[in-house]
Structure 1
Amino acid sequence: MLKEEELKKLDEILTKYRYNKASVIAIMQEVQKQYRYLPQDTLIYIAKSLGISKAKIYSVATFYENFSLKPKGKYVIKICNGTACHVRKSVPILDEFRNILGLSESKCTTDDMIFTVETVSCLGACGLAPVCTVNDIVHPSMTPEKAKNLIKKLKEETANENL
């Protein structure tokens, strides 16, 4: 069940796009930016508000790889596993992120909802391989040691925000 402030924010987003069905992807992108995923209640509300079926909105949410129906952490780390990155040893980098954060292939997000680690087919930065992104910021020439330092830095940033 959506809270009143959530409904207000959703209505602001829908109003911004004039409740236009053709803007469903942009609307969903804004909602995901707010929640870091697409909660079921928000999708149902959007579908009803736009006059489209729940099946249609779920088909959009599941078709595009950038949409997520599962909660993600504050920091979404994407490790490229494309050919250039794989050949330049992206797997040990992925293993290092997972080891440090206590994650696995089946568990992608930390319990505190701070980190999500995912692999992607390509980040489009082959010349900088191996690469990863943190919330879409590219980190080139990654190594397991750099991965360790990156996590340390992000943990420090989070701790400083909570002071």
Structure 2
Amino acid sequence: MKDFKNKSLESKFKELEDFIDSLEDKKAELIIVLHKAQEIFGYIPREVQQFVAQKLGVHTSKVYGVVSFYSFFNMTPQGQYPISICMGTACYVRDSEKILDEFKKILGITIGEVTDDGKFSINVLRCVGACGLAPVVMIGEKVYGRVTPDKVSKIIQECE
């Protein structure tokens, strides 16, 4: 931790370390620790994954495997309004790709990027579990169902 020059970053690592130290069975709590890490940092970059692995006594590849497997973990910074477009089968056959293209066009970013003002980021999901509402878009925890490309600008305006 001594290598980190940013005091705010140091305090975040300290908060995560304190949380981990409070756990009885550290190795069994990997997902809980990763949720806490994402809450503290906003996402889980490589440095945080390495720190978690070291503190839990597990290999970094195990941490990476969990972070990359579950869609609720992010390895890149997210916008204030993280937009997730479902690309599961039901959504895909109902043109979710066109919805994704419209978000990209309006916001001027692509998958995994954040707008310059930090407000929006775009990601895709494999399934939201709301197939009856396909195609589905989530912004944060809010679900938008039966989205069409012409509704995208209105959805963005609701957030602003």
Q: TM-score range by the shorter chain?
A: 0.7 to 0.9
Whether contact under 8 Å (2:49, 2:63) holds in the other structure is: yes
Q: Which residue of 1 is the match for residue 51 of structure 2?
A: 45
When residues 36 and 4 of structure 1 are mapped into structure 2, their CA distance, relative to the original with a 3 A threshold, is closer
Q: Which residue of 2 is the match for residue 59 of structure 1?
A: 65
Whether contact under 8 Å (1:73, 1:109) holds in the other structure is: yes
SS at match of 2:75: coil
Task: Check if 1:126 corresponds to 2:148.
Answer: no
**Residue 7 of structure 1: which of 13, 19, 27 is its match?**
13
TM-score using structure 2 length: 0.81
User: Which 5+ residue runs of structure 2 have no aligned equivalent?
Assistant: none
**Aligned length in residues:** 154
Runs of 4+ in 1 over 6 A off after TM superposition: none
Whether contact under 8 Å (1:36, 1:73) holds in the other structure is: no
Q: Which residue of 2 is the match for residue 159 of structure 1?
A: none
TM-score using structure 1 length: 0.80
User: Which 5+ residue runs of structure 1 have no aligned equivalent?
Assistant: 156-163
Q: Which residue of 2 is the match for residue 30 of structure 1?
A: 36
Q: Which residue of 1 is the match for residue 149 of structure 2?
A: 144
**Residue 80 of structure 1: which of 78, 82, 86 is its match?**
86
CA distance in 2, matches of 1:82, 1:48: 35
Whether contact under 8 Å (1:17, 1:27) holds in the other structure is: no
Q: Which residue of 2 is the match for residue 17 of structure 1?
A: 23
SS at match of 1:116: strand
CA distance in 1, matches of 2:25, 2:44: 18
Deviation at 1:19, TM superposition (A): 5.8
Percent identical among aligned pairs is 37
Whether contact under 8 Å (2:82, 2:120) holds in the other structure is: yes
**Residue 114 of structure 2: which of 109, 116, 120 is its match?**
109
Partner amino acid for 1:74?
A: Q
